[in-house]
Amino acid sequence: MSHFVSHTPGAGSDHEVIPSFLQTLLEGSAEQLYVGPISQYEVDDLTKTALSALKGCIDDLSPEHVKALVDLLVIPSFYHYHNGYHCAASYQILDKKHPTTLT
């Protein structure tokens, strides 16, 4: 059963929502999630509770850990690579000295 009850047509694709959602989850407030990336969804109470708990865990991370997670979002093909859509032209290496290491 999906907890996102409905989606507003024309409000953007899931591929646009996911990176924005993750960045807001890491760097923004819980309130910003609902007026920003997931504003196109009706979110039920169970999902809101889960998002609040997840945001609380993220807020307890050190700034260095949050930055490390945010840095993953600057790799445009990261999401596509892990879903079978690897695009070598858009793959950005963050660690120039160790090209196989993402830092």
pLDDT in tens, 30-76: 889 889 888 888 899 999 999 999 999 999 999 999 999 998 887 65
- The verdict on residue 94 lying in a domain is no
- The verdict on residue 67 lying in a domain is yes
Q: For 48-100, give the DSSP string.
A: HHHHHHHHHHHHTS-HHHHHHHHHHTT-TTHHHHTTT---GGG---S-SSSTT
- The verdict on residue 81 lying in a domain is no
pLDDT of res. 20: 87
Domain range for 52 is 4-72
- The verdict on residue 82 lying in a domain is no
Tokens of 18: 């996911």
Question: What pLDDT band is residue 87 in, cutting at 50, 70 and 90?
Answer: very low
- The verdict on residue 78 lying in a domain is no
Residue 54 corresponds to which amino acid?
L
CB 27 within 8 A of CB 20: no
Count structural domains, the chain: 1
CB 41 within 8 A of CB 5: yes
Q: Say how far apart CA 30 and CA 52 lie, in whole Å.
A: 7
- The verdict on residue 29 lying in a domain is yes
- The verdict on residue 11 lying in a domain is yes
- The verdict on residue 87 lying in a domain is no
- The pTM for the full model equals 0.59
Average pLDDT, the chain: 72
